[in-house]
């Protein structure tokens, strides 16, 4: 305000057309407009720029208080009481329009500056803001300041109590809404105060013998917790802190549901009776007793042990225990493979020496076992009967091969049916002895050892001449 007054005093004197109005919010609650000709100056367009930097700054400082509002030219205060009249000091006014007001003059301004002016706090209206009081400040302007702390007040909040003024604000202690009821949700509404909503949940879990739940805001017992272990040899009870308890009822009569026992009684928490044994000593039967106390055995399929170290995967079948023979084959035909019943290990024995086998050499024949080993037989004959070839055998494939030798050399010396024999491309060729008897119904041959020609008749019916066949060596 001081800045504003200084700025106004340094401006050219003009007509009183600057206006200030009090807010209807957090202000002094003023309901009147006051005009002071001393600080009133012409403000024709509402532009702060035309007032000059000093006046504009002053106006901003007074409006920043949140108490007054600057109105543009021609505006009106929202007052309910007509503006009051104020007297001016010995200043002359001049400027736009040539209007002036002499010192000691009187001015009434229906569109004039609205500035609360006071000489003492009693001139200021009562504050309507809690914890703030009106007072006349050093600039003779009604202003607000905090009241003395701990003064009682009302912050209009039902969630606080013992409201007091603290530093100019009304504050209260928080209201505690806890109703100590686990079946309600406790809240506080500023307009209403404490509010309690019913919950739906399990409650009172400290009692281990009851099942309880919230119903309509009350923890209600639903049912007692079951503590039956279905054992006639225990005494069932419940402890609120420990839960279900099962005490052994020693000596109590009971029924073990075994038709082959009698005098059933509880012992160590279990029902047992005395009676005949139906155990047949067979691990592959289920032993029991029928309603007439007769022993009954039922075959089972459970695993077992047949006592034979040379079997594996033993299991019950048809009331007997047996397993699969342990494999001991070594894939050799020269050994008799077997499992040793004493050790459970595989062993071998020599097969008969006459047992045929394969020594892996394709160039031997008649291989036979000898002392668990396969021995090769005689060498395979690959002689093709030709003196003009070198004959060999492939041991892997077991096939015979012949390679030509002695090209052009003499051959056939032991063949009485060949003369002038020589080797050509692996074949012994020369002049063959003529043995043809001119009969189409005989086969003419020469005996290499003797050189004698022989004829043998062809099979009857063999075609000989067109339209004819051989009959008894004659073409008919």
pLDDT at 262: 79
Q: How many residues does the chain have?
A: 476
pLDDT at residue 458 tops 90: yes
Q: How far apart are CA 21 and CA 66, in angstroms?
A: 11
pLDDT bucket at 89, cuts 50 / 70 / 90: very low
Residue-wise pLDDT for 170-186, tens only, equals 999 999 999 999 999 99
Mean pLDDT of the chain, nearest integer: 75
Average pLDDT value for residue range 5-23: 38
Q: How far apart are CA 214 and CA 196, in angstroms?
A: 14
Average pLDDT value for residue range 332-337: 87
pLDDT bucket at 87, cuts 50 / 70 / 90: very low
- Residue 455 has a CB neighbour count (10 Å cut-off) of 15
Please give the model's pTM, rounded to 2 decimal places. 0.29
pLDDT at 184: 94
pLDDT bucket at 303, cuts 50 / 70 / 90: very high
pLDDT at 135: 93
Average pLDDT value for residue range 221-233: 81
Return the H-helix or E-strand segment holding 173. strand 169-174
Indicate the SS3 state at residue 49: helix
Indicate the SS3 state at residue 272: strand
**Residue among 404, 405, 427 nearest 415 (CA):** 427
pLDDT bucket at 399, cuts 50 / 70 / 90: very high
Residue-wise pLDDT for 360-378, tens only, equals 899 999 999 988 889 988 9
Q: Residue 417: CB partners within 8 Å, gap ≥ 6?
A: 432, 433, 435, 446, 447, 448, 451
pLDDT over 70, % of the chain: 75
């Amino acid at each position: 305000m001081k800045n504003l007054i200084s700025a106004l005093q340094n401006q050219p004197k003009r007509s009183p057309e600057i206006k200030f109005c009090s807010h209807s919010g957090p202000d002094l609650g003023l309901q009147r407009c006051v005009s002071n000709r001393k600080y009133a100056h012409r403000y024709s367009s509402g532009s702060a720029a035309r007032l000059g930097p000093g006046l504009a700054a002053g106006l901003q400082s007074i409006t920043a208080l949140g108490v007054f509002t600057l109105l543009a030219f021609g505006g009106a205060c929202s007052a309910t009481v007509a503006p009051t009249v104020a007297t001016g000091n010995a200043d002359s006014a001049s400027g736009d329009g040539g209007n002036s007001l002499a010192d000691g003059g009187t001015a009434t301004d229906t569109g004039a500056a609205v500035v609360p002016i006071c000489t003492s706090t009693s001139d200021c209206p009562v504050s309507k803001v809690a914890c703030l009081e009106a007072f006349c400040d050093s600039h003779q302007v009604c202003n607000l300041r905090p009241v003395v702390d701990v003064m009682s007040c009302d912050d209009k909040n039902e969630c606080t109590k013992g409201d007091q003024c603290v530093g100019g604000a009304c504050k209260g202690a928080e209201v505690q809404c806890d109703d100590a009821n686990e079946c309600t949700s406790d809240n506080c509404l500023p307009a209403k105060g404490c509010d309690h909503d019913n919950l739906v949940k399990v409650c009172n879990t400290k009692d281990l013998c009851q099942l309880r739940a919230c119903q309509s805001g009350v923890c209600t017992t639903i049912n007692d917790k079951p503590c039956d272990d279905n054992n006639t040899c225990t005494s069932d009870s419940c402890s609120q802190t420990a839960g279900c308890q099962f005490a052994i009822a020693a000596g109590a009569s009971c029924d073990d549901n075994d038709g082959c026992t009698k005098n059933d009684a509880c012992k160590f928490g279990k029902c047992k009776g005395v009676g005949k044994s139906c155990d047949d000593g067979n691990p592959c039967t289920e032993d029991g007793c029928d309603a007439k106390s007769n022993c009954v055995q039922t075959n089972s399929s459970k695993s077992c042990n047949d006592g034979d170290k040379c079997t594996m995967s033993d299991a019950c079948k048809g009331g007997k225990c047996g397993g699969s023979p342990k494999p001991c084959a070594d894939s050799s035909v020269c050994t008799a493979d077997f499992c040793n019943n004493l050790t459970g290990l595989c062993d071998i024995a020599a097969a008969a020496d006459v047992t045929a086998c394969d020594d892996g050499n394709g160039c031997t024949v008649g291989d036979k076992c000898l002392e668990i080993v396969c021995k090769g037989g005689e060498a395979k004959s690959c002689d093709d009967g030709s003196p003009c070839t070198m004959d060999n055998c492939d041991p892997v494939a077991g096939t015979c091969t012949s390679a030509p030798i002695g090209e052009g050399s003499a051959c056939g010396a032991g063949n009485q049916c060949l003369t002038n024999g020589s080797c050509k491309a692996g074949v012994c060729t020369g002049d063959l002895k003529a043995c043809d008897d001119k009969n189409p119904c005989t086969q003419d041959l020469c005996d290499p050892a003797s050189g004698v020609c022989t004829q043998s008749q062809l099979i009857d019916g063999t075609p000989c001449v067109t339209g004819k066949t051989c009959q008894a060596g004659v073409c008919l």
